[in-house]
Chain A
Amino acid sequence: MTDRRQFIQQAGLLASAAAIGGLTPSIARAQNAKIRVGMMLPYTGTYAALGTAITQGFNLAVEENGGMLGGRAIEFFTVDDESEPSKATDNANKLVQRDKVDVLVGTVHSGVVMAMVKVARDNSTLLIIPNAGANAATGGQCAPNIFRTSFSNWQPAHPMGKVMYDKGHRKVVTLTWKYGAGEESIESFKEAFTKAGGSITKEMYLPFPNVEFQPFITEIASLKPDAVFVFFAGGGAVKFTKDYAAAGLKDKIPLYGSGFLTDGTLEAQGASAQGLLTTLHYGDGIENPKNKLFRYNYGKKYGIQADVYAVQGYDAALLLHGGLNAVKGSFGDKKALYGALEKVKIDSPRGPWTMSKAHNPIQDIYLRRVEGNANQVIGVAWKALEDPARGCKMSAA
């Protein structure tokens, strides 16, 4: 059905062009065709809310540009990846090989994104990652055609090492799930904290996604460190802050975390999260006109508050728009397009940021304090933080 409609549209264009003054060159005609954008995100399962926020953010940016990116209209192809790594390669191939998308956008889950990275590398398809933080995507597996508009797992946790040292903490216990994002976050925190002069009393791990924290809380109470740093998200984050407060530790041994500990979960955490300090690349109350406008428009259009995921989706569309604008909307010269994408300066609601050599945002990481149901930004924990991109060797596309 779409094919026939497209054919009629193109035939119409052709006819009018011929009527005006001979056939236009075929390249120009190709640029009038719609950009094929493949959205591969979770729309069901645990991360459904994140996938939806990213999509809404992306769509808002498209709408603000009059329904176009880089001067070209868009045709969406959508796949629900269910955050299921075992189906990830097939799903990405569907979009790349069957739907022949020009650009692949996704996803939330780090395991799924690594499969997308492989497909994008094998087919030289442009990939824009609007969330998943796996360091390798812009580290060991980096490539000219792979860009990220969110963060690397290394980024949000790193500044907390400095923050906690400056607060006078010298001996710290860490706790997280034994899986990619958790381990990469703790590793990065540890790097900054020990470099500042602090020491890690004990690194504790529990299997993902186990939430029986009581043995660790008992151990923390008997180790009596100066402070605790954790990485948890979602249901685990809620249960951990509640268990920690119920054990009476909240006021005795301060708890810190990377921002995911308190993002999107504050209502459920209630009093147990009040006053906690976390670090992330976004937060509530960032004072810039772009953020105000973005939050207003997002709230008006979708009826809910924008969150960090919406921002990342919004920025993914801004990146594509900026890059395509610089090359007159053409996917023809890949090298020129990737070069242009590298140079785009994103005027993001989180504050302006630029692409690193490895294609990950160089961005400010904010220090936030939980106040009521908001992660209030109280300062910049690290200005223009760049991921070290370990193991990244850019080869030709």
Chain B
Amino acid sequence: MEWLIQILNSVQYGLLLFLVASGLTLIFGIMGVINLAHGSFYMIGAYLAFTLSSLTGSLWIAIPLGIVLAAALGLALEWAFISRLYRRDHLYQVLLTFGLILIFEELRSIIVGDDVHSVAIPAALAASLPLTETLSYPVYRLFISAVCLALAGLMYVTIQKTRFGMMIRAAASNPEMATSLGLDIRWIHALVFAAGVALAAFAGMIAAPVSSVFPGMGNQVLIVCFVIVVIGGIGSLKGALIAALLIGFADTFGKVLLPDYASIAVYLLMAVVLLFRPLGLFGRA
């Protein structure tokens, strides 16, 4: 029974990681932008959930409001900064987005302070399911997993089956050709960046009740997000999903079976994958 629950833990953690990493792989794969500030957007989402749910009294109102605000922030950042870097070297993108991390951390400190906060789990999902005589599983965690799966499906359908998805794919694989066929690449880039920011913020908002809200939380997820993008193959959503689940398993079972080496389990997995598939599981040259 314990092992079944550990598998559940792995899947649940992996799905949440996918939700955070999906925005990163979109921005990286379609726009070619290395966005170090992705963790900050996750952090901003969590703080939005905290602030808006205490203002409005409900997480269900806070989440849609927060998504709109995060997408608006994404559009503004893309227009003001990111759009100037498409033709530049990756190093400029790294510098700029690193600067954004510092700015967002300081702003957070000034506006909300350095205390730890928590967001209440909505009453409808606050129950726990008894699994064994001692252990119960919070329903909210299962809800997060369901939302992540639904979102993964929605993203797949949008990108693979809709006209807008076709435009995004065209813009990603050959921007010049897409432009000469009449697509407004700049507008597509702006939308994709905003969607990436909104995804990260949404992950932060929905995770806030279980992760709690604290300084530096964004930097913690940033590294593991990059590991997921690299293992999955840059720009591949399917790759990101599988990589996130693999990481969920490596992290959970690493902690249980090899506690002394738990901190390297995730990186060991990355090294092994890259050894056999240098472009990641679903990466294309």
Contact residues in B for A248 (Cβ distance below 8 Å):
128, 130, 134-136
Q: Which of A94-102, A219-227, A313-321 contacts B (4 or more CB under 8 A)?
A: A219-227
B118 touches A218 (CB 8 A): no
Among A46, A237, A253, point to the contact of B215 (Cβ < 8 A).
A46
A252 touches B212 (CB 8 A): no
Min distance, Cβ A241 to any Cβ of chain B, angstroms: 10
B211 touches A46 (CB 8 A): no
Complex: how many Å from CA A248 to CA B127?
A: 10
Decide if B65 is an interface residue (CB 8 Å cutoff).
Answer: no
Min distance, Cβ B45 to any Cβ of chain A, angstroms: 16
Contact residues in B for A209 (Cβ distance below 8 Å):
216, 220
Smallest CB-CB separation from B140: which chain A residue?
A246
Min distance, Cβ B99 to any Cβ of chain A, angstroms: 16
Interface string of A195-232 (1 = CB under 8 A from B): 00000000011110111101111110110100000000
| CB contact list, A5-57 vs B, under 8 A | 44-46, 48-49
Decide if B56 is an interface residue (CB 8 Å cutoff).
Answer: no
Decide if B176 is an interface residue (CB 8 Å cutoff).
Answer: no
Smallest CB-CB separation from A224: which chain B residue?
B134
Decide if A325 is an interface residue (CB 8 Å cutoff).
Answer: no
Min distance, Cβ A271 to any Cβ of chain B, angstroms: 10
Interface string of B1-25 (1 = CB under 8 A from A): 1100110010011000000000000
| CB contact list, A226-275 vs B, under 8 A | 234-235, 237-239, 242-243, 246-249, 252-253, 264-265, 267-270
Decide if B259 is an interface residue (CB 8 Å cutoff).
Answer: yes
Complex: how many Å from CA A205 to CA B6?
A: 17
B5 touches A207 (CB 8 A): no
Q: Which of B82-90, B108-116, B180-188, B237-245 contacts A (4 or more CB under 8 A)?
A: B108-116
Interface string of A156-168 (1 = CB under 8 A from B): 0000000000000
Q: Tell whether A218 pairs with B5 under 8 Å between CB atoms, given A235-B217, A239-B211, A239-B212.
A: yes
A270 touches B9 (CB 8 A): no
Min distance, Cβ B204 to any Cβ of chain A, angstroms: 14
Tally of B interface residues using CB under 8 Å: 43
B12 touches A218 (CB 8 A): no
**Best-surrounded residue of B114, B140, B213, B252 (most CB of chain A within 10 A):** B114
B118 touches A242 (CB 8 A): yes
Interface string of B211-248 (1 = CB under 8 A from A): 11111110010000000000000000000000000000
B134 touches A252 (CB 8 A): yes
Contact residues in A for B210 (Cβ distance below 8 Å):
239, 242-243, 246
Smallest CB-CB separation from B215: which chain A residue?
A46
Contact residues in A for B154 (Cβ distance below 8 Å):
none
Decide if A178 is an interface residue (CB 8 Å cutoff).
Answer: yes
A218 touches B263 (CB 8 A): no
Smallest CB-CB separation from A178: which chain B residue?
B263
A206 touches B134 (CB 8 A): no
Interface size class of A (residues with CB under 8 A): 35 or more
Decide if B262 is an interface residue (CB 8 Å cutoff).
Answer: yes
B138 touches A212 (CB 8 A): no
Decide if B169 is an interface residue (CB 8 Å cutoff).
Answer: no
Complex: how many Å from CA A239 to CA B116?
A: 10
Contact residues in B for A218 (Cβ distance below 8 Å):
2, 5-6, 9, 135
Contact residues in B for A267 (Cβ distance below 8 Å):
115, 117
A265 touches B134 (CB 8 A): no
A204 touches B259 (CB 8 A): yes
B2 touches A222 (CB 8 A): yes
Decide if B137 is an interface residue (CB 8 Å cutoff).
Answer: yes
B13 touches A212 (CB 8 A): yes
Smallest CB-CB separation from A204: which chain B residue?
B259
Among B137, B215, B263, point to the contact of A235 (Cβ < 8 A).
B215
Contact residues in A for B259 (Cβ distance below 8 Å):
204-206
Complex: how many Å from CA A151 to CA B260?
A: 28
A214 touches B134 (CB 8 A): no
Beyond A235-B216, A238-B116, A267-B117, 4 extra complex contacts between A and B, CB < 8 Å? A178-B263, A212-B13, A215-B251, A218-B135
A–B complex contacts, Cβ < 8 Å, 15 sampled:
A45-B216, A48-B109, A205-B262, A209-B220, A211-B211, A214-B12, A214-B13, A218-B9, A222-B135, A235-B216, A246-B136, A248-B130, A248-B135, A268-B118, A269-B118
* Residues in chain B within 8 A of chain A (CB atoms): 1-2, 5-6, 9, 12-13, 106, 109, 113-118, 120, 128, 130, 132, 134-138, 140, 210-217, 220, 251-253, 255-256, 259-260, 262-263
* Residues in chain A within 8 A of chain B (CB atoms): 44-46, 48-49, 178, 204-207, 209-212, 214-219, 221-222, 224, 234-235, 237-239, 242-243, 246-249, 252-253, 264-265, 267-270
